[in-house]
């Protein structure tokens, strides 16, 4: 049977969410998915959202009515995958405690804004990271609050140049986890859609999307 995915975009234009959503669509369609792309947040809480094998919010902040959030969380708990990159998951639906629990990550800062930093592959044995070596990347280096239950696949280390009190902190960049029966994937890479064309970032995202799908 053909797998189905729902990609919902919105929020801050500086993240180029519509373009990013279509990159996600293209990656999934390459693997035979039937993909719906929309800017209607309510699609994430539709009565039939559980029919999707994967949901991908490419959303900065936003809100979802409690009854619709209940539908989304129930779908994830029943096995619908949840995946996101950069602002997606880490900033999506900031005020929703149920979503924060499922997403397992929350953005809090990017000291220095756009800068060059290193992404260290910590799990080269994991299928998402196979064949990818540590690399330098120029973008926002995300400082996150995250669930200790996550399985970290890649990290970055803060130099302390901009926030000395966080010198040598090692932070996840790519991780997986589960929320009941649903698989969850997150990568902090991809401030704009242009960054999703970088080979390592594109490969990590595509593999993560496929890993998270039911």
pLDDT at 15: 98
Contact status, residue 119 vs residue 158, Cβ threshold 8 Å: no
Per-residue pLDDT at 114: 97
pLDDT, block means (10 residues), the chain with 214 residues: 98 98 98 98 98 98 98 98 98 98 98 98 98 98 98 98 98 98 98 98 98 97
Which residue from 191, 182, 2 is spatially nearest to 82, judged by alpha carbons?
182
Distance from C-alpha of 66 to C-alpha of 14, rounded to nearest angstrom? 28
* Confidence (pTM): 0.98
What's the pLDDT at 150?
Answer: 98
């Amino acid at each position: 049977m053909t797998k189905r995915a729902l990609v919902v975009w919105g929020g801050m234009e500086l993240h180029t969410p519509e373009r990013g959503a279509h990159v996600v669509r293209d990656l999934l369609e390459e693997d035979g998915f039937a993909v719906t792309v929309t800017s209607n947040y309510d699609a994430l809480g539709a009565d039939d959202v559980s029919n999707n094998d994967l949901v991908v919010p490419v959303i900065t902040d936003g809100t979802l009515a409690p009854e619709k959030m209940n539908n989304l969380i129930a779908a994830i708990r029943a096995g619908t995958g949840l995946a996101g990159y950069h602002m997606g998951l880490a900033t999506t639906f900031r005020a929703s405690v149920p979503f924060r629990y499922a997403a397992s990550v929350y953005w809090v800062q990017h000291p220095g804004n756009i800068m060059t930093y290193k992404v260290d592959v910590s799990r080269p044995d994991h299928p998402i990271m196979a064949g990818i070596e540590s690399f330098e990347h120029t973008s926002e280096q995300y400082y996150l609050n995250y669930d200790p239950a996550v399985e970290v696949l890649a990290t970055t280390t803060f130099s302390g140049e901009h926030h000395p009190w966080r010198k040598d902190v090692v932070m996840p960049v790519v991780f997986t986890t589960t929320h009941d029966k649903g698989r969850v994937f997150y990568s902090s890479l991809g401030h704009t859609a242009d960054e999703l064309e970088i080979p390592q970032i594109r490969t990590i995202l595509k593999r993560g999307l496929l890993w998270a799908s039911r």
